Amino acid sequence: MGRHGENIYKRKDGRWEARVIVSYSKGGKASYRYLYGKTYQEAKNKKKKFLNEAAVNTISTNNTNQMKKIFGELMVEWLKSRKCSIKESSYANYMNLLEQHILPELGTYYVSEITTDILDEFLKKKLLSGRCDNQGGLSSKTVVDIRSILLMGVEYARNQKYPCKVENKLFYPRNTQPDIRVLSRSEQQKLEKIIFQSENPFEIGILIALYGGLRIGEVCALQWKDINFEEGFIHVMKTVIRIRDLASNSTTKTKVVIERPKTTCSLRLVPLPSFILCHILKFRSNCESYILTGTNNFMEPRVCLGKYKQVLKAAEIENLTFHTLRHTFATRCVESGFDVKSLSEILGHANVTTTLQRYVHPSMELKKNQMEKLQKISIYSQNNRQN
């Protein structure tokens, strides 16, 4: 029995057969490549590998007309057209999603065959069971990213005058925010005790994230020249990120790059409290040195995360993500009556709604204090005051 839409079938001899369109005759008849495996998954993996290599190198159907344009070929063509206009990390991420998810399942369709229903079904499937390790579905964010890529590819197809039946209104997964953890006041005090007693420049990065809300990549990219001690702010204008290395002569799968932050709003000035500036001034080095290392060599995020976990262990705090510091910063600001618009700009958000929904997590203590304010309107409270 074949799997719907995949062109993978179980043969009478027990083997699984995967079919891949490799070319078309002048009359439009398809020629296939047959790939075999002892199991369904083995045949699927062989098909996936073949499709990735064929699509990326544009091996397939140079003789196709407008009606016979292969969707996988079109998507790779679209991505290559964007290479010079997007960040290197974005290009690598798009290519990864294309190869891992879109090409294996949609790559053999004609552009003219792709419909809104087909893409909706594909996106829903990815949400339920789309992980490459077959351990469940992809996150809502990843499915949204795949959806965006498909829509950009569809728009490219229209601009190139290919027949396209897809509407712009595609399935959009409901965004489910994971449970967010912030440091309690006592945990923050224990962490700060370790930091302020340390002579290691690395702990300055933790302090800046805790009192400035910077992301881990932004902290790794900070140099001393980015801190204006006279004016009292940090200029956030770059981030360190590890991405897939797409160079044909590369000997490694990934590489580390320094580039501008994820959005225009992330390019920002972050003021720091005077007591933080006073403390870190003692560690100040030459302007080209990176803050975390004290040298001209930066620290990459995964190394930073490892050192951060060691600091947490020393403070006897459970293992938490580095992003917890950013969540904690935002929450403490709101607890202290911080102006939300200013906080949103400090965090580098495009709007206040993002700040409130994603990063602001009032403590139970603050909630109780807010609830006590209702006492002022209570008849019971007014009667007691009169008595």
| Least confident stretch, 14-18, 272-276, 301-305, 375-379 | 375-379
Instruction: Report d(CA 213, CA 193) in Å as an integer.
Output: 19
Instruction: Report d(CA 170, CA 119) in Å as an integer.
Output: 7
> Tokens 């087909």, residue?
118
- The pLDDT value recorded for residue 384 is 62
Q: What is the mean pLDDT of residues 170-193?
A: 86
Average predicted confidence (pLDDT) for the chain:
85
- The pLDDT value recorded for residue 61 is 43
121 compared with 384, residue with greater pLDDT: 121
Q: What is the mean pLDDT of residues 106-123?
A: 92
What's the number of CA atoms in the CB half-sphere (13 Å) around residue 8?
Answer: 21
Helices (DSSP H) in the chain: which residue ranges?
A: 40-56, 71-82, 88-97, 103-106, 116-129, 140-159, 185-197, 202-212, 216-221, 274-280, 301-314, 323-335, 340-347, 352-358, 364-372, 379-386
Q: In angstroms, what CA-CA distances link 311 with 182, 205, 302, 306, 387?
A: 16, 12, 15, 9, 55
pLDDT (tens digit per residue) in 318-338: 999 999 999 999 988 888 888
Helix (H), strand (E), coil (C) string for 334-372: HHCCCCHHHHHHHHCCCCHHHHHHHCCCCCHHHHHHHHH
| Listed residue (146, 134, 191, 217) closest to 311, CA to CA | 191
Query: Following DSSP, what letter does each residue of 155-208 receive, concatenated?
Result: HHHHHTT------S----PPP-PPPP----HHHHHHHHHHHHH---THHHHHHH
pLDDT (tens digit per residue) in 195-244: 999 999 999 999 999 999 999 999 999 999 999 999 999 999 999 999 98
- The pLDDT value recorded for residue 28 is 47
Three-state DSSP state, 14: coil
Contact 337, 370 (CB under 8 A): no
What is the residue extent of each domain of the chain? 38-159, 185-369
| Full-model pTM | 0.72
pLDDT (tens digit per residue) in 139-171: 999 999 999 999 999 999 988 888 888 877 899
231 compared with 365, residue with greater pLDDT: 231
- The pLDDT value recorded for residue 60 is 42
Instruction: Report d(CA 282, CA 279) in Å as an integer.
Output: 6
pLDDT higher than threshold 80 for residue 59: no
CATH T-level topology, domain 185-369: hpI Integrase; Chain A (1.10.443)
